[in-house]
Structure 1
Amino acid sequence: MSTDIQVEIIHKETITPSSPTLPHHKVVELSFLDQFIPEVYVPLILFYPNHTDGEVDTNHQSLIAEKCGILKASLSKTLTQFYPLAGKFQYNDSFCCDDRGAAFIVARVNCRISRILENPDTEMLKCLFPAAVGSTQALTGHLLLVQINFFECGGMAIAISISHKVADAFTFSTFIKSWSAAALVPSSTTDHPVVPADFGAAAFLYPPQDFLNSPKPLVEFIQGKCITRRLVFDASRIAALKSKAASASVPNPTRVEVVSALIWKCAMEASRSNLGSIRPSLWCQAVNMRKRSGQAFTENILGNFVWRFAAMTVESEVDLQSLVTALRKSIEDFKVNYPNGLTVENAYQLIKESGNFFAREGVDNYNCTSWCWLPLYETNFGWGKPYWVSFPSLQLKNIVILMDAKDGNGIETSLTFLEEDMAKVESNKELLAYGALNPTVI
């Protein structure tokens, strides 16, 4: 994308909860699962084109003021429910919910929104965000940062950075859903007070552990000279991929399984080609624990309620069927071994056995998170649903993110690999036979 695109910050303020946090919610204890999460920001951006006719002057302040007013008022109401987002992270055992608020930034972009949608650029998207992924709260001052980007055409993009210490993908999605729902309620409407969510419930099942309360995090994402690429699999190509990947062991693979297996296969081949040797390859997939705890109250629990299962291969030659089988076996083993979810003792034992699986020596580690089935494309603040939902370039080695395409049937992926590995991955003929490399959004 052309470097002449400029993003100008025109306003900054802090949005605080519309009602003070209740005394018994002032301190939220982290669960063991929260403690295990690295202190990074999870970024997400939603694009909303201007659906009105005609041009919109970039100096048309009434448009900006109207939309920002709606977003600020509804965010303030939502923070009353999601009160830890307006607080402070106290490493590494609790949140101080002191209502300090969230950062709210307004920016003007000197181009039409179509400039980005026609030719998406994950590196350029970073300019639309309020914080870098690898930032800490000590640097930003907030657990939640929002940047509202207005384009010359009247379109807008809402970029959100939320601390992973306080939210996983489910919690992030729930927050956005609640925020947009609040925006649709007229400010003059008299409604019932917002009931705060219980963010401390996870600590009941997974109490915090002293051995994790140290200045050095147990798990760190590996950074390096990485490149992020966007790859989109439409429904018809996924159907063909399912047919190719089906086997007697897994006759009906899921779309997440086949897309994950294909990406893993291509990344593995690239790494082994560049290294000139074969070494074990580990695929770690996030698991939503909300329906695996054996407790009904956890289905909608907020905070971090995820763990990971891992599939490994040491074979010199791999194919789609064998990798899909490995992925399926790993999740089935997880269900059998932990029918009621992990206990703290289980998790601690897994950590001791595997070490830091984000940085084990002599093993290629790939870490995948699926955002599929989260209703992100339903996010309507009052000017329609988003035209595109995406992530910026991450700069974190071997990270794969899957999310639903706009139609709900395809899958859009964000792949971040070392430069030398990405050069081979993005030219892999098998991968390109099923996925489109950075297609236009329009």
Structure 2
Amino acid sequence: MGALLSKRRKRKTGVGEVKVVESCMVTPSEETPRRGLWLSPLDLMLINRGHTPTVYFYRSDSGATVEHFFDVVRMKVAMAKALVAFYPLAGRLGVGVHGRAEIDCAGQGALFVVARSGLTVDDFRSFRPSPELRKLFVPRVQHDSSSVMCAVQVTFLKCGGVALGTAMHHVAADAISAFHFFQTWSAFSRNPSAAQELPAVHDRTLLRARSPPFVHPDALSVFCPKLNLSDPSGPIVSETFDISKDQVAALKRACAGDSGRVSTFCALSAHVWRCVCIARRLPPDATTRLTFPASVRRSLRPPLPAGYFGNGIIWLGAAGKVRDVTSSENLSSVTGRITGAVRRMDDELVRSAIDYFELTLGETDGQPAPAGCMPETELRVISWLGMPVYDVDFGWGKPLAMVRAESERAGFVYLMDGSQGGGGVRVHICTDAEILSDFQRLLYAKL
């Protein structure tokens, strides 16, 4: 399953130390297609986003030895089997004959790192994104191994628990596809003879641009392709807030208005948008905008296959005057703006978005996404609600928590199901430090 890549080394941060004891490549256990995988415009728009860093925390309550609790050999065997079906994750980012980026699928392997630490799960009980969390538990793929599609790190903690850090290149998969892989890998670890429940589909030409490409004039009123970033004006902080099941239900009732029903995403996004605008003390006449990713999988005609593996998201937006967004009487109206944007996504809008990105290929030139913050009038909310975060059970129990390891851009919010999927929601926000206290007060005031 690959040769040892590096000698033992230590990582030090302000909160502790991690010793890497093994680093190797896990390759598919069977022969896989060897080809350059064509990438759709929705893949290529994310090529400069690099690797998405996440960390799963597991606690050992069985009294089993550390070695038995997360058997590394068993995990590698399961990964090798999963990579047969998800073979692009064993490939490398490359360039095709026409200069277009592609994934070189030649079975090169996924990076697998094993480490040990004197830290405990309780040292991270807030489960808050931070640079330290990424440095400690997420395998490093920023430099000579930047073309690796998938990397994981199993860190054995002093308490007997485990931190599983992952880094998946965004050009390979969006969140839906990434969780599909982790579900499959963990299922094979639980039961090596298990059959894959949902086959992976790798035909990314399903999201090919039209010929000739055409962007509908109305598309850009909802579709938001640009990420506008500016330099931070002060310190940036990340914090996590827990919203209980009862609080979510109360908020949804307040946001429903005459419609009677509203989604958890729309209600929470509207509430967070309102709280941020007030905390930032924006002028009432200013125009504010909320943007968010939406899956195109069911909006296309015909819809994408259920196991489509790749990127299938576009960015939608809703806008309004600050006075309208911040008015407590208008909460249902603000929720309606977001709901309306979601409902406007149809086949033509998605096709126009695909064509737009095809026409603008090359604008980023493969450079890393610039650091910075969203403009103060804008907010971006990314939802992982309803995704199988807590289904990543390798045979030793479900994760205690899963968190994006680092969120470095102010103006970004992540919504995730609460611990073990109990009906609550975790709100991760990266914001200017000066508004955090006001935001927290406002977030809970209506709940």
* TM-score between both structures, scaled by the size of structure 2: 0.79
Q: Distance in 2 between matches of 1:180 and 1:409?
A: 23
Residue 32 of structure 1 corresponds to 41
Query: Aligned ranges for residues 208-287 of structure 1 at < 5 Å?
Result: 224=232, 225-248=235-258, 250-272=259-281, 279-287=286-294
Q: 1:367 to 1:390 in 2, by over 3 A?
A: same
Q: 1:360 to 1:195 in 2, by over 3 A?
A: closer
Q: 1:285 to 1:194 in 2, by over 3 A?
A: closer
Q: 1:331 to 1:138 in 2, by over 3 A?
A: farther
Residue 308 of structure 1 corresponds to 315
Which of 14, 17, 22 does residue 6 from structure 1 map onto?
17
Q: 1:324 to 1:32 in 2, by over 3 A?
A: farther
Query: Aligned ranges for residues 127-138 of structure 1 at < 5 Å?
Result: 127-131=135-139, 136=142
What SS does the corresponding residue of 1:122 show, helix, strand or coil?
coil
Letter of the structure 1 residue corresponding to residue 315 of structure 2: R
Q: Distance in 2 between matches of 1:293 and 1:310?
A: 19
Gaps spanning 5+ residues in structure 1: where? 212-216, 436-442
Using the TM superposition, give the Cα deviation of residue 226 of structure 1 relative to its aligned residue in structure 2, in angstroms: 2.5
What SS does the corresponding residue of 1:291 show, helix, strand or coil?
coil
Which of 381, 389, 398 does residue 385 from structure 1 map onto?
398
Q: 1:247 to 1:408 in 2, by over 3 A?
A: same
Q: Distance in 2 between matches of 1:182 and 1:309?
A: 36
8 A Cα contact 1:184 1:382, kept in partner: yes
Q: Which moved more, 1:417-426 or 1:300-309?
A: 417-426
What SS does the corresponding residue of 1:140 show, helix, strand or coil?
coil
Letter of the structure 1 residue corresponding to residue 336 of structure 2: R
Using the TM superposition, give the Cα deviation of residue 159 of structure 1 relative to its aligned residue in structure 2, in angstroms: 1.1
1:172 aligns with 2:184: no
* TM-score between both structures, scaled by the size of structure 1: 0.80
8 A Cα contact 2:201 2:309, kept in partner: yes
How many residues are paired up?
A: 406
Using the TM superposition, give the Cα deviation of residue 415 of structure 1 relative to its aligned residue in structure 2, in angstroms: 0.9
Q: Distance in 2 between matches of 1:202 and 1:381?
A: 29
Q: Which moved more, 1:262-271 or 1:341-350?
A: 341-350
What SS does the corresponding residue of 2:74 show, helix, strand or coil?
helix
Residue 69 of structure 1 corresponds to 73
What SS does the corresponding residue of 1:292 show, helix, strand or coil?
coil
What SS does the corresponding residue of 2:281 show, helix, strand or coil?
helix
Using the TM superposition, give the Cα deviation of residue 300 of structure 1 relative to its aligned residue in structure 2, in angstroms: 2.7
1:412 aligns with 2:426: yes
What SS does the corresponding residue of 1:272 show, helix, strand or coil?
coil
8 A Cα contact 2:151 2:168, kept in partner: yes
Residue 207 of structure 2 corresponds to 205
1:156 aligns with 2:156: no
8 A Cα contact 2:60 2:160, kept in partner: yes
Using the TM superposition, give the Cα deviation of residue 28 of structure 1 relative to its aligned residue in structure 2, in angstroms: 0.9
8 A Cα contact 1:93 1:208, kept in partner: no
Q: Distance in 1 between matches of 2:375 and 2:138?
A: 36
Using the TM superposition, give the Cα deviation of residue 320 of structure 1 relative to its aligned residue in structure 2, in angstroms: 5.2
Letter of the structure 2 residue corresponding to residue 364 of structure 1: T
Which of 407, 422, 430 does residue 436 from structure 2 map onto?
422
Letter of the structure 1 residue corresponding to residue 123 of structure 2: R
Gaps spanning 5+ residues in structure 2: where? 1-12, 214-224, 365-369
What SS does the corresponding residue of 1:282 show, helix, strand or coil?
strand
Q: Distance in 2 between matches of 1:143 and 1:223?
A: 30
Residue 438 of structure 1 corresponds to none
What SS does the corresponding residue of 1:342 show, helix, strand or coil?
helix
Using the TM superposition, give the Cα deviation of residue 203 of structure 1 relative to its aligned residue in structure 2, in angstroms: 2.2
What SS does the corresponding residue of 2:89 show, helix, strand or coil?
helix
Which of 373, 383, 393 does residue 370 from structure 1 map onto?
383
Letter of the structure 2 residue corresponding to residue 251 of structure 1: G
Percentage of matched positions with identical amino acids: 21
Structure 1 residues 101-147: Cα deviation after superposition (integer angstroms, max 9, x where no partner): 11111111103323323x44432422333357xx7576534121101
Structure 1 residues 382-415: Cα deviation after superposition (integer angstroms, max 9, x where no partner): 1011111222231123111111112341111211
Residue 218 of structure 2 corresponds to none
